[in-house]
Chains A and B, each alone.
Chain A
């Protein structure tokens, strides 16, 4: 999976608790992304980062925050988890430079269940 790890791989939590998912890359890519995958919806972008401390919202960012203090780590936080955030979360990386095409490479995913 292109030097990308996600932790934890599985998590069960209760409504109202905070949850942090971690994405770690060894490729030194500039761009990092968080997606959620749900049946019937495909992949939807939550947040992305274009550098250390540089982040922006995706199409489903409500209820989520992110942080990137180092090139290799991108954290996704659910401040107060809800059942609607039960999903599989994928991290992706890419290198968008002149001549490249922003091919994204994905981590193995984190399955989150909110009870």
Chain B
């Protein structure tokens, strides 16, 4: 069975510092992996995806994610956090169907 886990409910980062939001997955084959962001009172917005190829994927708003097959992880990263990055972040995995993680709330502290 496929699954996705976001081990941290909340992550706090000081503005200007690098940020990482963690995601691990479990599927039996080669998955497609996604990150979405949700701002208050809005729907989810697509950030980036991994299909195949280069393990480092670049997406919107300066975010990137690194696919690590041996660790079955797809962590979201940004070199320098902005207060406006504060939001709820969802990792998703698609193999035969798409499954979303429970979300990680990112707080960027001014």
Chain A interface residues toward B at CB < 8 A: 1, 4, 35, 40-43, 45, 90, 92, 101-109
- Check B42 against A103 for contact (C-beta < 8 Å): no
Contacts of B36-92 to chain A: CB distance below 8 A: 36, 41-46, 49, 51, 90
- Check A106 against B51 for contact (C-beta < 8 Å): no
What number of residue pairs across chains A and B have CB atoms under 8 A from each other?
A: 46
Bound-state CA distance A41–B32 (Å) is: 21
User: With a CB–CB cut-off of 8 A, which chain B residues contact A90?
Assistant: 43-44
- Check A109 against B98 for contact (C-beta < 8 Å): no
Report if A109-B43 is in contact (Cβ < 8 Å); known contacts: A101-B32, A102-B32, A103-B34. Answer: yes
> How distant is A14 from chain B, measured CB to nearest CB, in Å?
24
User: With a CB–CB cut-off of 8 A, which chain B residues contact A108?
Assistant: 41-43
User: With a CB–CB cut-off of 8 A, which chain B residues contact A106?
Assistant: 36, 43-45
